[in-house]
Amino acid sequence: MLYTNQEVSGWGNYPVVPTHMLKPKNTEDVREALAYQKNIARGLGRSYGDQAINAHLYTTSLTGLNHLLDFDQQTGILTCQAGTSLADIIRTFAPRGWFPAITPGTKFVTIGGAIANDVHGKAHHVDGTFMNCVLEINVMLADGSTVKASREEHADLFRATFGGLGLLGFVLSAKIQLKKIATTYFTKKAIKARNLEEMLEAFEQYDQDYHYSVAWIDPLAKGRSLGKGVLTIGNMASVADLPKKLQSDPLKLASEAKLGLPFYLPNISLNRLTVLPLNRIMEAVQSSKAPVAHYEQFFYPLDAIQHWNRGYGKRGFIQYQFVIPTENAVYNITKILSRIANSQCIPFLNVLKKFGNSDQGILAFPMEGYTFAIDFPVTKHLPAFIAALDQMIMEMNGRVYLGKDAMLDEATFKAMYPHYKEWLTVKEKYDPHNLFSSNISRRLELEVMPEKALV
């Protein structure tokens, strides 16, 4: 199979690297791609950092493997190829009353990508990570064999592949459990919080009665208003919950997004003056009193604008997502937000969610506590500032999300993810020669090192 030479990046457009891109159309092509050593799978490129890029080496786009293989309308169990996107699944199955059970904040992710980052949604404290809706995966290993992995068979491979950043093999297909829905709408409520303490109290107060929760936090608030924002909570809507005019088509699909950013905005537009109106708009949207929202607005508001990532200019941006334990959360988050507010780095968007405790992949990100996702445009000050934040998060016993990271160093990663040793024993068993390798795996030493071979 031939490759093309092209430049590639994650969703944050940072870093951008040259790569040899392979585009298999079927399983046999994927096996041929294994001849190209030091290779990494790529889905829809929605990871923000360097997870699905491989500088000067091989990147295999698996979006051509997007066939639906089997579906049971009674149980909602779907088997599909790993390049199938959540958007494909919604388009086909929402009108039949089934929806992805766990979804991140964009539907433009593949099943392979959702598995490799063990993604989470707005209900992690109830649903856990993506692994919880997957029954079985089919993985092509470095030697060309295909292996079925589940909680019963090759359980080590199963648990290491979720959150394993594509570094154990090409996931070819998966059997996943969809969730029954009566409508494609959600009942929702917006709660304004004047500061961080009120915000965390609101999360705890509404925990029991609402399945989904997410908060927009004003990145410009300081002092006594630090942590001010709007918490949005919601549940799946029944037909009776809908206003009369929506009841005739309760499983309505959204129309495809038509708005788009056709070019990169100039870097100069990213300053404290532009962050203000952007966040006033966010505040107004989040505070909307509409009692019902379609899944498109409820789960995927950013999908409405194609290529919105170009708004951060050609230098790109990072999405810095971290989690810290519930204990001392107010004190610790205050420390982190104050540090950010007093820095030269401008936080553009700031989202807060709650995590629970659940079974998940070995290198998966969540832990019981609170997670922040903050967009920072890339500037010359950013790497040193992020390194300082990483140290703070580590000292608070928290960690940074590998599925979005672009800057963590190896030593800090290893301190944040002590399970990496267990993961490396599985890597050594299934990919001893590091056929699967990427920018992030080399940056964090997620590779089998001959001199450090684990016995």
Ligand X SMILES: Cc1cc2nc3c(=O)[nH]c(=O)nc-3n(C[C@H](O)[C@H](O)[C@H](O)COP(=O)(O)OP(=O)(O)OC[C@H]3O[C@@H](n4cnc5c(N)ncnc54)[C@H](O)[C@@H]3O)c2cc1C
Q: Which residues bind ligand X (CB under 6 A)?
A: 11, 40-47, 51-52, 62, 82, 104-106, 109-110, 112-114, 116-117, 119-121, 165-166, 170-171, 302, 403
Q: Please, which residue, 10 or 250, has the CB nearer to ligand X?
A: 10
Q: Please, which residue, 218 or 303, has the CB nearer to ligand X?
A: 303
- The b/e string for 361-396 (b: 16+ C-beta within 10 A; e otherwise) is bbbbbbbebbbbbbbbbbeeebeebbeebbeebbeb
Two tokens, residue 290: 């509409």
Q: Please, which residue, 123 or 221, has the CB nearer to ligand X?
A: 123
The separation between CA 138 and the C-alpha centre of its own chain, rounded to angstroms, equals 21
Q: Please, which residue, 106 or 350, has the CB nearer to ligand X?
A: 106
Q: What is the smallest separation between the CB atom of 264 and ligand X, expressed in angstroms?
A: 16
Q: Do 311 and 274 form a contact (C-beta atoms < 8 A)?
A: no
DSSP-assigned states of every residue in 62-109: -TT---EEEEETTTTEEEEETT-BHHHHHHHHGGGTEEESS--S-S--
Q: What is the smallest separation between the CB atom of 68 and ligand X, expressed in angstroms?
A: 15
Helices vs. strands in the chain: H and E counts, helices first: 14, 20
Q: Do 174 and 111 form a contact (C-beta atoms < 8 A)?
A: yes
User: Quick one: which of 208, 277, 202 has its CA closest to 232?
Assistant: 202
- Dihedral-angle region of residue 90 (phi above 0 means left; psi in -120 to 50 means alpha; beta otherwise): alpha
- The b/e string for 167-187 (b: 16+ C-beta within 10 A; e otherwise) is bbbbbbbbbbbbeebebbbbb
Task: Please give the sequence-ordered ranges of beta strands (E in DSSP) within 195-328, or none if there are none.
Answer: 212-217, 229-236, 259-260, 292-294, 305-306, 317-325
Round to whole Å and give the CA distance between 100 and 180.
9
Q: Please, which residue, 185 or 300, has the CB nearer to ligand X?
A: 300
Q: Do 263 and 307 form a contact (C-beta atoms < 8 A)?
A: no
Q: What is the smallest separation between the CB atom of 148 and ligand X, expressed in angstroms?
A: 15
Q: What is the smallest separation between the CB atom of 247 and ligand X, expressed in angstroms?
A: 30
Q: Please, which residue, 250 or 403, has the CB nearer to ligand X?
A: 403
Q: Please, which residue, 125 or 250, has the CB nearer to ligand X?
A: 125
Q: Please, which residue, 128 or 250, has the CB nearer to ligand X?
A: 128
**Amino acid letter, residue 418:** P
Q: What is the smallest separation between the CB atom of 110 and ligand X, expressed in angstroms?
A: 4
In the chain, what is the straight-line distance between the N-terminal and C-terminal CA atoms, in Å? Answer: 36
Q: What is the smallest separation between the CB atom of 191 and ligand X, expressed in angstroms?
A: 20
Q: What is the smallest separation between the CB atom of 326 and ligand X, expressed in angstroms?
A: 19
Q: What is the smallest separation between the CB atom of 410 and ligand X, expressed in angstroms?
A: 17
Q: What is the smallest separation between the CB atom of 90 and ligand X, expressed in angstroms?
A: 15
How many other CB atoms are there within 10 angstroms of residue 231's CB atom?
Answer: 26
- Dihedral-angle region of residue 264 (phi above 0 means left; psi in -120 to 50 means alpha; beta otherwise): beta
Q: Please, which residue, 303 or 390, has the CB nearer to ligand X?
A: 303
Q: Do 329 and 369 form a contact (C-beta atoms < 8 A)?
A: yes
Q: What is the smallest separation between the CB atom of 424 and ligand X, expressed in angstroms?
A: 16
Q: Please, which residue, 102 or 236, has the CB nearer to ligand X?
A: 102
List phi, psi (to 5°) of 86.
Answer: -65, -30
